[in-house]
């Protein structure tokens, strides 16, 4: 019996009782609180009806509808959840806010945030429906169109992405290289187009616009290296260092390499030729020195940085996963140990 009372005085017990009381109070508030009349539009009702709601969403909805807290505070709270990666909670708040009586401007803002929340959480179809809902009442909303393009791109529905792009160009009057990028991705994903057709499409694109250099030469060096060298843009040498580093020796064009200082250093460091003895770049200079000493167990590895937002990635990208900029990739070379030789156990 004594033991029971000692546990009763435990601080943890107090905390449990406190949360129990909070829980009970929120339920009392749920059952007995005054219901505010909701004046949501029919479209929003239909929109919300598309998604299943859980019990916890109902609880948040009642808090959002019955609590005196302002919309701005709820949006701030939802944004905080979003920054923590708790998209489930932020989406619950947005959905609850949409069920409240709000003016059209607030509904539009919340729908945009809801769409972005679903997009970040990976619910692409729900995100698409949210942005389409925005566009239904506010067709000239660039943010909604921009995200629709991203969604269609993720789903590889490039025809729809290009249609949304046309609408965005009408509003903004410019597209940068985004339209070209979508057209290139559409061509590359077309199963009916041959490798030669794709290669010539990319060459024409680069010749006319001098954009998407990384995407164009990545494909060409992988599938048509002779065309890649024929149309090679020497000004891209440093940017394409990782792609060039992986080109097999039999596909190298030593005439072009001999005319370019960076390429001479890069391929001398790789051991494919001996056209250069030193380099201003530490990594290449070190590799050349090591090779002269007979050490071939060092190589280069690459990381990638976005030229716009400076996010670093271990994988190459054509559209930055963080800021969604296109063709903003820059490669960073670092020295590393050659792993292949140690792991080569086939012989
Ligand atoms: Zn970026």
Tens digit of each residue's pLDDT (9 = 90 or more) over 166-213: 999 999 887 678 999 999 999 999 999 999 999 999 999 999 999 999
pLDDT at 266: 95
Same domain, 207 and 128: no
Task: Determine the distance separating the centroid of ligand 1 and the alpha carbon of 30, expressed in angstroms.
Answer: 44
Task: Determine the distance separating the centroid of ligand 1 and the alpha carbon of 275, expressed in angstroms.
Answer: 36
β-strand pairing of 298-306 with 329-337: antiparallel
Residues in Cβ contact with 96 at an 8 Å cutoff, skipping those fewer than 6 apart: 57, 60, 61, 63, 64, 65, 74
Residues in Cβ contact with 114 at an 8 Å cutoff, skipping those fewer than 6 apart: 91, 94, 95, 98, 130
Q: Does residue 339 carry a pLDDT above 80? A: no
Query: CA-CA distance, 139 to 146, in Å (whole number)?
Result: 12
* 41 confidence band (pLDDT: 50, 70, 90): low
Query: CA-CA distance, 165 to 262, in Å (whole number)?
Result: 38
Q: Which of the listed residues 175, 194, 226 is the one where a domain comes to its end?
A: 175
Q: Which of 4-8, 117-121, 206-210, 217-221 has the lowest mean pLDDT?
A: 4-8
Contact 134, 108 (CB under 8 A): yes
DSSP state of 46: H
Q: Which of the listed residues 117, 146, 175 is the one where a domain comes to its end?
A: 175
Same domain, 136 and 229: no
The answer to whether position 165 is within a domain reads yes
Task: Determine the distance separating the centroid of ligand 1 and the alpha carbon of 309, expressed in angstroms.
Answer: 4
Query: CA-CA distance, 183 to 324, in Å (whole number)?
Result: 17
Same domain, 101 and 126: yes
Task: Determine the distance separating the centroid of ligand 1 and the alpha carbon of 312, expressed in angstroms.
Answer: 9
Q: Which of the listed residues 159, 175, 191 is the one where a domain comes to its end?
A: 175
Same domain, 110 and 253: no
The tokens describing 199, both together, are 């290669």
For 106-147, how does the pLDDT look when each residue is reduced to its tens digit (9 = 90+)? 889 999 999 999 999 999 999 999 999 999 989 999 999 999
Return the percentage of the chain with pLDDT > 90, whole number: 59
Residues in Cβ contact with 185 at an 8 Å cutoff, skipping those fewer than 6 apart: 153, 156, 158, 318
Closest CA to 270 of 288, 258, 286: 288
Per DSSP, the three-state class of 295 is coil
Counted domains in the chain: 2
Residue 306's H or E segment, with its range, is: strand 298-306
Query: CA-CA distance, 134 to 131, in Å (whole number)?
Result: 5
Task: Determine the distance separating the centroid of ligand 1 and the alpha carbon of 147, expressed in angstroms.
Answer: 15
Same domain, 273 and 254: yes
Query: CA-CA distance, 16 to 34, in Å (whole number)?
Result: 28
pLDDT at 345: 44
| Burial degree of 151 (CB within 10 A; 0-12, 13-18, 19+) | buried
pLDDT, average across residues 282-297: 89
| Dihedral, 231, 235, 238, 240 alpha carbons, nearest 10 | -30
Same domain, 190 and 167: no
Domain with 71 in it: 41-175
Closest CA to 220 of 123, 282, 208, 205: 205
Task: Determine the distance separating the centroid of ligand 1 and the alpha carbon of 178, expressed in angstroms.
Answer: 14
Task: Determine the distance separating the centroid of ligand 1 and the alpha carbon of 299, expressed in angstroms.
Answer: 27
Task: Determine the distance separating the centroid of ligand 1 and the alpha carbon of 198, expressed in angstroms.
Answer: 27
Is the pLDDT higher at 86 or at 11?
86
Q: Does residue 39 carry a pLDDT above 60? A: no
């Amino acid at each position: 019996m004594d033991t029971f009372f000692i546990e009763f005085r435990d601080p943890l017990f107090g905390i449990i009782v406190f949360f129990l009381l909070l829980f009970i109070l929120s339920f009392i508030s749920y059952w007995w609180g005054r219901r505010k009349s909701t004046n949501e539009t029919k479209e929003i009702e239909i929109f919300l009806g598309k998604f299943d709601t859980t019990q916890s969403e109902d609880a948040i909805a009642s808090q959002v509808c019955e609590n005196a807290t302002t919309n701005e505070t709820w949006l701030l709270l939802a944004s905080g959840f979003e920054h923590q990666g708790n998209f489930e909670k932020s989406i619950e708040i947005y959905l609850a806010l949409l069920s409240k009586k709000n003016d059209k401007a607030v509904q539009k803002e919340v729908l945009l945030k809801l769409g972005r929340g679903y997009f970040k959480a990976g619910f692409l179809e729900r995100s698409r429906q949210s942005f389409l809902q925005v566009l239904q009442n506010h067709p000239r909303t660039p943010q909604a169109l921009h995200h629709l393009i991203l969604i269609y791109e993720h789903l590889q529905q490039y025809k729809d992405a290009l249609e949304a792009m046309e609408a965005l160009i009408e509003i903004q009057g410019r597209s940068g290289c985004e339209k070209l990028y979508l057209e290139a991705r559409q061509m590359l994903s077309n199963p009916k187009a041959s490798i030669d057709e794709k290669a010539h499409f990319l060459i024409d694109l680069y010749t006319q616009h001098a954009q998407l250099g990384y995407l164009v030469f990545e494909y060409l060096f992988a599938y048509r290296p002779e065309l890649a060298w024929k149309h090679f843009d020497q000004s891209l040498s440093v940017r394409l260092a990782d792609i060039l580093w992986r080109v097999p020796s039999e596909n190298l064009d030593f005439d072009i390499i001999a005319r370019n200082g960076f390429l001479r250093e890069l391929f001398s460091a790789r051991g494919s030729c001996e056209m250069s003895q030193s380099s201003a770049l530490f990594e290449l200079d070190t590799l050349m020195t090591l090779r002269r000493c007979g050490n071939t167990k060092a190589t280069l590895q690459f990381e990638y940085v976005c030229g716009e937002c400076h996010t670093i990635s271990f994988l190459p990208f054509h559209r930055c996963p963080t800021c969604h900029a296109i063709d903003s990739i820059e490669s960073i070379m670092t020295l590393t140990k050659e792993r292949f030789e140690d792991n080569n156990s086939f012989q």
